[in-house]
Amino acid sequence: MEKAIEKLIRSGRKLTRPRLAILKFLSHQHAPISAQTIHDKTGIDLASVYRTLKLSEELRLANVEAMGNEKRYCLAAEPHHHITCRKCGHSETVRCNHVTEGLGNFTDISHQLTITGICDKCRK
Amino acid sequence: MEKAIEKLIRSGRKLTRPRLAILKFLSHQHAPISAQTIHDKTGIDLASVYRTLKLSEELRLANVEAMGNEKRYCLAAEPHHHITCRKCGHSETVRCNHVTEGLGNFTDISHQLTITGICDKCRK
DNA sequence: AACATAAATGCGAATAATTCGCAATTGGGT
DNA sequence: ACCCAATTGCGAATTATTCGCATTTATGTT
Ligand SMILES: [Mn+2]
Ligand SMILES: [Mn+2]
Ligand SMILES: [Zn+2]
Ligand SMILES: [Zn+2]
């Protein structure tokens, strides 16, 4: 999280109370989380949450993934992904097998990977 | 596309004119395409397009990826992904490096990968 | 420490994407 | 040809996300 704050400041943006609260909250999660949830748990205005998340994505402080129709974010630590149970939502970390190799024609690559399945507790 | 139709029928659903038109349209695309675009080009009601796309995803006739806030679909051929230029939208196929290996605790896995970058024509 | 000011916030209203409800239609049997 | 559950089209409703703007705040400068 320190790294994220540093990047934020180096980008010339202000380190505001809402931004700090959101980054701090994210740093305590182990599974990717939605804007709505961040709003619910921190009380920060939903529009501001969205603004901070979008900025965090641009500055690569956080990574996004698509769950159904909503986006979920987690702090960008070492490259990793998640697999999430479609029944109970339980989420585990997955090593990032360099999905973006051999893409020579393209630069400034960013990727977003969503993996779902049924976890052992949920299969009968 | 024949394979998709076969799966659709085997699932016990009707092979309707709209469904056939959508699958046919998808089979002619080389880049993933949105519900809105399918509606625009085929004239099929937007709600029906959404219904068919959701069904296609469930039956794994088609694969989804997230582009910004919209979903884009392409027929599920051999496992593959796409890299799309964030400037011009140009899209190329990417081999699927089995991103879903070693996920032992989970079954019935499905994944969705969105890769963007800047293509050679767009970088100055 | 008080000031200046551009950047960011909060709030409500606006969009964009997707889904729902239901009456009318139709595909696939019999 | 007839039946009937499945599907469609259309409009209205939901959801997720974004925008506009008056007010507040972080940060550099006296
Ligand atoms: Mn994570
Ligand atoms: Mn494709
Ligand atoms: Zn589960
Ligand atoms: Zn391009």
CB contacts of A92 in chain B (<8 Å) are 105-106
Same structural domain, A71 and A107: no
Same structural domain, B54 and B28: yes
Specify the CATH number for the domain of residue A15. Answer: 1.10.10.10
B89 C-alpha to ligand 2 centroid (Å):
14
Q: What is the pLDDT of residue A102?
A: 77
How many structural domains are present in chain A? 2
Nucleotide nearest to B19 (CA to C1'): D7
Q: What is the pLDDT of residue A21?
A: 98
CA of B67, C1' of C6: distance in angstroms: 33
Q: What is the pLDDT of residue A78?
A: 85
Q: Does B92 lie at the interface with A, CB-CB under 8 angstroms?
A: yes
Q: What is the pLDDT of residue B23?
A: 98
Check pLDDT > 90 for residue A9. Answer: yes
Q: Is A122 contained in some domain?
A: no
Check pLDDT > 80 for residue A88. Answer: yes
Q: Does B122 lie at the interface with A, CB-CB under 8 angstroms?
A: no
Strand C at less than 7 A from CB of B47: yes
Same structural domain, A62 and A89: no
- What is the strand order of the sheet B80-85 is part of? A91-95, A80-85, A106-118, B107-119, B80-85, B91-95
Same structural domain, A63 and A87: no
Same structural domain, B67 and B14: yes
Same structural domain, B48 and B96: no
Full residue range of the structural domain in which residue A37 is found: 2-75
Q: Is B40 contained in some domain?
A: yes
Same structural domain, A12 and A60: yes
CB contacts of B87 in chain A (<8 Å) are none
CA angle B47, B53, B58 (to 5 degrees): 130
Radius of gyration from C-alpha coordinates of chain A: 15
Q: Does B83 lie at the interface with A, CB-CB under 8 angstroms?
A: yes
Q: Is A63 contained in some domain?
A: yes
Q: Is A123 contained in some domain?
A: no
Residue B72: both structure tokens together: 């884009």
Q: What is the pLDDT of residue A116?
A: 96
Strand C at less than 7 A from CB of A16: yes
Tell me the ligand closest to B84's alpha carbon. 4
**Side-chain half-sphere CA neighbours of B14 within 13 A:** 3
Q: What is the mean pLDDT of residues A24-44?
A: 97
Same structural domain, A31 and A65: yes
DSSP A84-104: EETTT--EEEEE---TT-S-T
- pLDDT tier, A77 (very low <50, low <70, confident <90, very high otherwise): confident
Q: What is the pLDDT of residue B6?
A: 97
Same structural domain, B113 and B63: no
- Helix ranges, B1-124 (H): 2-10, 17-27, 35-42, 46-58
Residues of chain B with pLDDT under 70: none
Q: Is A54 contained in some domain?
A: yes
Q: What is the pLDDT of residue B45?
A: 98
Helix (H, G, I), strand (E, B) or coil at B27: helix
pTM of the model: 0.93
Same structural domain, B41 and B61: yes
Q: Does B111 lie at the interface with A, CB-CB under 8 angstroms?
A: yes
Helix (H, G, I), strand (E, B) or coil at B74: strand
Same structural domain, A25 and A62: yes
**CB pair distance less than 8 Å for B66 and A111:** no
Residues 6+ apart with CB under 8 A from B25: B33, B38, B41, B42
Radius of gyration from C-alpha coordinates of chain B: 15
CB contacts of B116 in chain A (<8 Å) are 109-111
Q: What is the pLDDT of residue A56?
A: 98
Q: Is B47 contained in some domain?
A: yes
Q: What is the pLDDT of residue A97?
A: 77
Hits for CB < 7 Å against strand D across B residues 82-121: none
Q: Is B123 contained in some domain?
A: no
Nucleotide nearest to A51 (CA to C1'): D18
The DSSP bridge pattern shows strands B33-34 and B62-67 to be unpaired
Same structural domain, A71 and A84: no
